[in-house]
Amino acid sequence: MSQLSLSCLGLGQVAASPGLPLLLVGVSWFLARVLAWTYAFYDNCRHLRCFLQPLIQNWFLGHLGLPRTDSSET
């Protein structure tokens, strides 16, 4: 039973430290959260693209009450 240790796997004293698996779990959890946040942001942006964009008014002529002029209408 004494031969059943991590050193027989060739990992030596590095794998025997209790902090290393804890660090590995923490980094894995953090990476999973970042990937989940990234996908949620991408999915939210993808859904928001379905809505039409509002008409852009000229900021100067808009407050004067003049009609909107657009170069694509000519």
Sequence letter at residue 27: V
User: Domain range spanning residue 46?
Assistant: 16-68
Domain assignment present for residue 8? The answer is no
Domain assignment present for residue 73? The answer is no
Domain assignment present for residue 27? The answer is yes
In angstroms, rounded to a whole number, what is the distance separating the alpha carbons of residues 5 and 13? 10
Domain assignment present for residue 38? The answer is yes
pLDDT over 50 (residue 1)? no
pTM of the entire predicted model: 0.49
Q: What's the angle, vertex CA 47, arms to CA 52 and CA 38, rounded to 5?
A: 135
pLDDT in tens, 26-57: 999 999 999 999 999 999 999 988 888 776 66
Domain assignment present for residue 37? The answer is yes
pLDDT over 80 (residue 3)? no
Domain assignment present for residue 34? The answer is yes
Number of structural domains found in the chain: 1
